[in-house]
Chains A and B, each alone.
Chain A
Amino acid sequence: MQRLTSWIAAHPLYCMAVVALLSVLAFVTVYDLHDSRLRLKIDPTIERLLPEKGDDRAVFDRARETFGDSDAVLVAVEMDEVFTPEGIARIDALTRHFGELPGVRQASSLANVPNPLAEGDMLEISTFGAQARENPERVRAFPAQIAANPIYRDALVSKDGRTVAFSISLGDLSEEDFRKQDYTGKIRALAVEVAGSDRVWITGGPVIKAATVDALLDTLAFTLPAVLALIVIMLLLVSRSVYGMLAGAATVLISLLWTMAAAVLLDIPINLVTAIVPPLLLTLGLSYAVHLQADYYAVRETSPEARVQHVLSKVGPGLFLSGATTVAGFLALMPQALPAIQQFAGLSALGVTFGMLLTMVFLPSALRLQRQSTARRPLGERFFLVQARRLAVFDLRWRNWIIGIALLTVPIDLYFASRIHVGTEYIKSFHEDAEARRDFEHINQAFNGASIVSILIETHVNDALTDPELIGQVESLQHWLRRQPEIGSVVSYVDHLKLINQSMNEGDPAYYAVPRDAASVKQLLVFGGSSEIKRAIDSRFRSALLTVRINVDSSAQIQDLIQRVEERLGELKPPLNASLTGSPVLATRAVNAITSGQISSLALASFAIWVMLSFMFTSPRAALLAMLPNLLPVLLYFGILGISGISLNPTTSMIASIVLGIAVDDTIHFLARFNADARAKGNETAAVKSALASILRPVTFTVLSLCIGFLVFTGSELKNQVQFGVLASFTLFVAWFADILLTPALGSKLRIVTLWDLLRLDLGQSPQHTIPLLSGLSLRQARVFALMSKMEKMHEGGQLIRQGDLSRDIYVVVDGTLEAWIDRGGERKTLATLGRGAVIGEAGYFGQRRTASVDAVTPARVLRFDSQDLERLRLRYPRIAAIIFRNLNRVQAERIARTTAMLQ
């Protein structure tokens, strides 16, 4: 590792050339130079976010294939006069104009639906529009006729009779084309022009999807430049150098370019979820760059190469581990059922890896080439030093209180977290003044429902649905559905059938019923059915679609309805097989899939990070302690969700895993630095002070960058994006607070051994075989013991022990030669020459004064440990401690035996 950092420090141009070459390749991967266009796919469709396979999707596709798209555009127009010949003529004209729009399969309204009128043996089945044209006098009877027709009641005209509804079914018009060609705007303009009213409301699945995509693209258009500006400002603040700012910005942008190239190669589109990746990566990349630059410009080394080497060896391990834990946080989202979340997780993990690599390879190389690279006093250095000292004193003094209060928050957070409600409110995601929300709410209120769900009934038997007994079951289901408060209306082929029967029987209300035999049913459906019936029953009478208008929008309410409806559908007898479907149902199921995966994702992220920390700190217990200051903010986050009433929805559910992955970085930085300083100083209190002094400034800057970066999302038009920004930055802030208070309090008694230390430590050839105290240990255990002790270097002639001193330290010679001697009346008498493996001063361990002095004859390295170290070892690594104690006893026994032999 050391060699790698040295190589990077020595070959900046080579590193930059490799990065430049890869960046050129990434650029041509992302941008097609031949056609001058981006190869990166932008797919804002919502449907493709859902799993392509699965029962729900299959039912949805079957319903759409058989009965056409149920996701119609709903238009409501308030008119001064509806039930006048002129009003009907306007409605008729507008319906025709809607129908003529390219991509529209059918437009229907009061004007073009049939109004069956029976008189004697005459049956008139012309439309309201035609009847108004032929005999304007008949218009007056329309309100009563509509009210008497269950299919049209409250569906064509609002209860107050002033607002007319239009339903526009789309044909082969993709969601993207609908949005790009501004169909919502076209429909509105047509309505205003033809109907002569500016009181127009438009909603429906395609409209809301288009509005959502527009809002997200607007957010992206705002967040990217805002985060870029933030990068420039933060890097300027940290480096106080334009060159440093440019180098940092280039690092962040190159990592984004590589990530986008990976997206092209992996065929991952920029969709509604992956659209968060670019600003997120810019923000995270900025935090890495800030961290490295803060250290780089603070280092007092004179040569740029030495500075790079120093920074990489100091910051590198922490940075690597930070990146790894952040990647783990993202990868924990992979088991989520939705492909869009998996793509988000995979792309983010790749992006973080690129960012981390570039920060460790490209950024130091670029900084190394800076001409004027003398160290300068970093911004706020003195302030942070003073605060760090105060903080360290506070943390150590109030250690138990801090830990106690932190633990006290756990049950409180859990209590409030139990009040979290799961789900999302689709339309309320828009601002109150947003046109999409205003229109939806108006139509929902005026027509008692603005969202459509469907019940697909399948029998797989031709003509089965003409059986009156089965029709009775469908009718009973409809009655039950109409009693549900969330349901505004239900229309099925049974309604059409009963109306046909009534019309064919002189309009007698007694015949508003299902005929008694299947043949009659079939004859009425075949010979009396209008075109509308094709949307309700298939041509073989084996499957039917119940169109259900619902007046609720939140996923929790829809889920509640889904549960009740599915229970009721389960009561249908064979061959009736019914399923609830439609866009709101699919979306609700997707929301539930995401949020139910929250606990498992968080558990997975925590476990992955714990495993990584255990590996890096070579101790599961140390890893657990490092996790605590980060799990507490996550718990607090859930508590705040419970208190504030903000729901756990697809956006807010991602925060915990992401924040955990990011926040643990600061803990790692502190513990890594604390460990190094504790080993170097041999004093934990001093190490807490120095570690805090070292990390407080960069950690504060990175957290500040991240918080501001996430707060950029508050500029979004969508409420859930705003919540994401506010909650993520708040949780990160809390994590920072915990890291500067709780982590030092917890870590002050903790000596960790990092994998990095293990790899770097040099104990010479086979220490477990050449040093008796380490006999029986593995190489790793020998190194762990060495790292739990203190490695001290001695120069030639230096004194290790002075005769007569009272000290409890024990020493083991790692290399070099030492001499033990005593002073006899001013004369130096050499007792022994000590080499590798010799144990010195073990008598001091038992409270005796030093009986001889020990000096270094040559430069030497010794391991020093005392009873506290051994106790710490016993607690943390009992197996290693047992062997050390055994070996120590053996050394003592041998020494006693030797002494006894000498005396004899």
Chain B
Amino acid sequence: MIRMLAGIVLAAAPLLAQAQAPAAAPAAATAAPIVQCMRANIPPSVQVKEVELISRDRTGGERQLRGRLYATNDKDRVKAMLKIGSPPDLAGAAYLMREGTKADEIYVFVPALNKVRRVTGGNMDGPLWGTDLSYNDLKQVQNAFQDQQAKLEGKAVLDGTPVQVLQFTPQPDQASRYTSIRAWVEPKSCMALKAEFYEGLQVVRKRFSGSAKDLKQSGPHWYLADMVVADLKEGTQTRIKVTGVAAGKELADRLFNPATFYVGN
């Protein structure tokens, strides 16, 4: 989850992240220029004043989590920290994710225990915090957008917005649970407004979707301020809203230090 949220701000995936505005995707016959546009100009850091996660279960019951997110991109290694602000009984909990060369490091601070735990392994495909996102979802997206074999399927119109449709196929070494990912990319912002994750041939397992009206800019960087992640198999969904995104801001190292990340703001 935290990785995904970091992705929002660090453009690991245009769907979940932002892309730089000036380099709008040229009209292309192949996917490569669009993918390049999507990957270009990742900001060095970002701070999100408020991230709101609203999970809705099959019966319509909702649970909300609010927090602040800090992320930085240090030599292509993402570091991200999320601190929960509400609800009050969960306030103070914090997550730190540091992307490593061999494996990613994840730390969690649980106020009730007053302990930091380094979590390794984990069910990467399992939902995080009861949401519809898994750690691997974002990883798949990130891998997908590094895929040089992406195919441009053509143009389409999504809710009145012209988009380019791309198909990404995970490589065998990525051990993906998905057989393919299809993304609907808005060419001006290079942001994916919709992405579908396929299991098997034609079965959509998860769907990420947002609206063009929620595309926002922080300086030169684009981000999607409101999106929904739906697990179609489970019949659940999570809405992610971000406000107060500030890109390119200098962030203190203590925010990403396992010994101190949970202390400061």
CA distance A772 to B83 in the complex (A): 111
In the complex, what residues of B have CB within 8 A of residue A651's CB? none
Instruction: Return B211 CB to nearest CB of chain A, in Å.
Output: 25
Q: Please tell me if the beta carbons of A171 and B199 are within 8 angstroms of each other in the complex.
A: no
Q: Does B219 contact A (CB under 8 A)?
A: no
Interface bits A488-517 vs B (CB < 8 Å: 1, else 0): 000000000000000011000000000101
CA distance A66 to B203 in the complex (A): 23
> Given contacts A171-B233, A526-B130, A531-B123, is CB(A100)–CB(B199) below 8 Å?
yes
Q: Please tell me if the beta carbons of A504 and B233 are within 8 angstroms of each other in the complex.
A: no
> Given contacts A126-B122, A538-B57, is CB(A517)–CB(B117) below 8 Å?
no
Q: Please tell me if the beta carbons of A126 and B112 are within 8 angstroms of each other in the complex.
A: no
Q: Known A-B contacts: A66-B59, A540-B63. Give 10 more (CB < 8 A).
A: A121-B115, A124-B119, A125-B123, A127-B123, A504-B110, A504-B117, A522-B89, A538-B61, A539-B55, A539-B61
CA distance A114 to B127 in the complex (A): 13
**Other-chain contact of B89, A504, A515, A518 (Cβ < 8 Å):** A518
Q: Which 5 A-B pairs have the closest CB atoms?
A: A126-B121, A520-B112, A531-B126, A519-B89, A539-B57
In the complex, what residues of A have CB within 8 A of residue B112's CB? 515, 517, 519-520, 523-524
Instruction: Return A183 CB to nearest CB of chain B, in Å.
Output: 15
| Nearest chain B residue, comparing its CB with the CB of A540 | B61
> Given contacts A515-B112, A523-B111, A539-B55, is CB(A123)–CB(B118) below 8 Å?
yes
Q: Does A529 contact B (CB under 8 A)?
A: yes
A-B contact count (CB 8 A): 110
Q: Please tell me if the beta carbons of B113 and A505 are within 8 angstroms of each other in the complex.
A: yes
Sample of 17 A–B contacts (CB below 8 Å): A66-B58, A121-B116, A122-B118, A123-B119, A124-B121, A126-B123, A504-B113, A504-B117, A523-B93, A523-B112, A527-B90, A527-B95, A527-B110, A528-B110, A530-B126, A538-B59, A539-B130
Q: Please tell me if the beta carbons of A523 and B127 are within 8 angstroms of each other in the complex.
A: no
Instruction: Return A96 CB to nearest CB of chain B, in Å.
Output: 8
Question: What residues of chain A have their CB less than 8 Å away from a CB belonging to chain B?
Answer: 65-66, 68, 100, 102, 105, 112, 114, 121-127, 130-131, 171, 463, 504-505, 515, 517-520, 522-524, 526-531, 534, 538-540, 542
Q: Does B234 contact A (CB under 8 A)?
A: yes
Instruction: Return B164 CB to nearest CB of chain A, in Å.
Output: 30
CA distance A105 to B58 in the complex (A): 14
| Nearest chain A residue, comparing its CB with the CB of B116 | A121
Q: Please tell me if the beta carbons of B122 and A524 are within 8 angstroms of each other in the complex.
A: no
Interface bits B52-81 vs A (CB < 8 Å: 1, else 0): 000101110111010000000000000000
Instruction: Return B205 CB to nearest CB of chain A, in Å.
Output: 10
> Given contacts A102-B200, A105-B234, A505-B113, is CB(A527)–CB(B121) below 8 Å?
no
Q: Please tell me if the beta carbons of B121 and A130 are within 8 angstroms of each other in the complex.
A: yes
Q: Please tell me if the beta carbons of B59 and A520 are within 8 angstroms of each other in the complex.
A: no
CA distance A549 to B59 in the complex (A): 25
In the complex, what residues of B have CB within 8 A of residue A102's CB? 200, 203
**Other-chain contact of A114, B63, B95, B123 (Cβ < 8 Å):** B123
Question: What residues of chain B have their CB less than 8 Å away from a CB belonging to chain A?
Answer: 55, 57-59, 61-63, 65, 89-90, 93, 95, 108, 110-113, 115-123, 125-127, 129-130, 199-200, 203, 233-234
Q: Please tell me if the beta carbons of A527 and B63 are within 8 angstroms of each other in the complex.
A: no
In the complex, what residues of B have CB within 8 A of residue A125's CB? 119-123
In the complex, what residues of A have CB within 8 A of residue B117's CB? 121-123, 504
Interface SS, A side: mixed
In the complex, what residues of B have CB within 8 A of residue A68's CB? 58, 234
| Nearest chain A residue, comparing its CB with the CB of B125 | A531
Q: Please tell me if the beta carbons of A534 and B127 are within 8 angstroms of each other in the complex.
A: yes
CA distance A124 to B121 in the complex (A): 5
Instruction: Return A113 CB to nearest CB of chain B, in Å.
Output: 8
| Nearest chain A residue, comparing its CB with the CB of B61 | A540
**Other-chain contact of A524, B95, B110, B127 (Cβ < 8 Å):** B110
CA distance A112 to B125 in the complex (A): 10
In the complex, what residues of B have CB within 8 A of residue A542's CB? 61
> Given contacts A66-B59, A105-B233, A539-B130, is CB(A526)–CB(B90) below 8 Å?
yes
Instruction: Return A800 CB to nearest CB of chain B, in Å.
Output: 91
Q: Please tell me if the beta carbons of B108 and A527 are within 8 angstroms of each other in the complex.
A: yes
In the complex, what residues of A have CB within 8 A of residue B59's CB? 65-66, 538
CA distance A534 to B233 in the complex (A): 14
In the complex, what residues of A have CB within 8 A of residue B234's CB? 68, 105, 534
Q: Please tell me if the beta carbons of B61 and A523 are within 8 angstroms of each other in the complex.
A: no
In the complex, what residues of B have CB within 8 A of residue A121's CB? 115-118
Instruction: Return B48 CB to nearest CB of chain A, in Å.
Output: 20
Instruction: Return B256 CB to nearest CB of chain A, in Å.
Output: 17
In the complex, what residues of B have CB within 8 A of residue A538's CB? 57, 59, 61
> Given contacts A102-B200, A123-B120, A538-B57, is CB(A504)–CB(B115) below 8 Å?
yes
**Other-chain contact of A66, B55, B57, B62, B199 (Cβ < 8 Å):** B57
Instruction: Return B180 CB to nearest CB of chain A, in Å.
Output: 14
CA distance A3 to B122 in the complex (A): 88
In the complex, what residues of A have CB within 8 A of residue B120's CB? 122-126
In the complex, what residues of A have CB within 8 A of residue B57's CB? 66, 534, 538-540
| Nearest chain B residue, comparing its CB with the CB of A522 | B89
In the complex, what residues of A have CB within 8 A of residue B126's CB? 114, 530-531
| Nearest chain A residue, comparing its CB with the CB of B88 | A519
Instruction: Return B136 CB to nearest CB of chain A, in Å.
Output: 12
CA distance A122 to B103 in the complex (A): 14
| Nearest chain B residue, comparing its CB with the CB of A131 | B121
| Nearest chain B residue, comparing its CB with the CB of A520 | B112
In the complex, what residues of A have CB within 8 A of residue B58's CB? 65-66, 68
In the complex, what residues of A have CB within 8 A of residue B108's CB? 527
Q: Please tell me if the beta carbons of B63 and A520 are within 8 angstroms of each other in the complex.
A: no
Instruction: Return A461 CB to nearest CB of chain B, in Å.
Output: 12
Instruction: Return B140 CB to nearest CB of chain A, in Å.
Output: 16
| Nearest chain A residue, comparing its CB with the CB of B108 | A527
Q: Please tell me if the beta carbons of B233 and A530 are within 8 angstroms of each other in the complex.
A: no
CA distance A307 to B200 in the complex (A): 73
Q: Please tell me if the beta carbons of B90 and A523 are within 8 angstroms of each other in the complex.
A: yes
Instruction: Return B135 CB to nearest CB of chain A, in Å.
Output: 11
| Nearest chain A residue, comparing its CB with the CB of B118 | A122
In the complex, what residues of A have CB within 8 A of residue B65's CB? 526
CA distance A463 to B200 in the complex (A): 38
Q: Please tell me if the beta carbons of B127 and A531 are within 8 angstroms of each other in the complex.
A: yes
| Nearest chain A residue, comparing its CB with the CB of B199 | A100
| Nearest chain B residue, comparing its CB with the CB of A517 | B112
**Other-chain contact of B110, A105, A523, A530 (Cβ < 8 Å):** A523
CA distance A567 to B113 in the complex (A): 38
Instruction: Return A212 CB to nearest CB of chain B, in Å.
Output: 28
In the complex, what residues of B have CB within 8 A of residue A66's CB? 57-59
Instruction: Return A101 CB to nearest CB of chain B, in Å.
Output: 9
In the complex, what residues of B have CB within 8 A of residue A127's CB? 121, 123
CA distance A171 to B121 in the complex (A): 28
CA distance A131 to B121 in the complex (A): 8
In the complex, what residues of B have CB within 8 A of residue A505's CB? 113, 115
CA distance A245 to B110 in the complex (A): 85
In the complex, what residues of B have CB within 8 A of residue A463's CB? 89
In the complex, what residues of B have CB within 8 A of residue A504's CB? 110, 113, 115, 117
In the complex, what residues of A have CB within 8 A of residue B62's CB? 539-540
Instruction: Return A522 CB to nearest CB of chain B, in Å.
Output: 5
> Given contacts A114-B122, A522-B90, A526-B130, is CB(A539)–CB(B110) below 8 Å?
no
CA distance A126 to B58 in the complex (A): 27
Instruction: Return B197 CB to nearest CB of chain A, in Å.
Output: 14
Instruction: Return A903 CB to nearest CB of chain B, in Å.
Output: 105
CA distance A65 to B93 in the complex (A): 31
Q: Please tell me if the beta carbons of B129 and A530 are within 8 angstroms of each other in the complex.
A: no
| Nearest chain A residue, comparing its CB with the CB of B56 | A539
In the complex, what residues of B have CB within 8 A of residue A540's CB? 57, 61-63
Instruction: Return B114 CB to nearest CB of chain A, in Å.
Output: 10
CA distance A529 to B58 in the complex (A): 18
CA distance A124 to B125 in the complex (A): 15
In the complex, what residues of B have CB within 8 A of residue A131's CB? 121
CA distance A124 to B120 in the complex (A): 5
| Nearest chain A residue, comparing its CB with the CB of B129 | A526
In the complex, what residues of A have CB within 8 A of residue B63's CB? 539-540
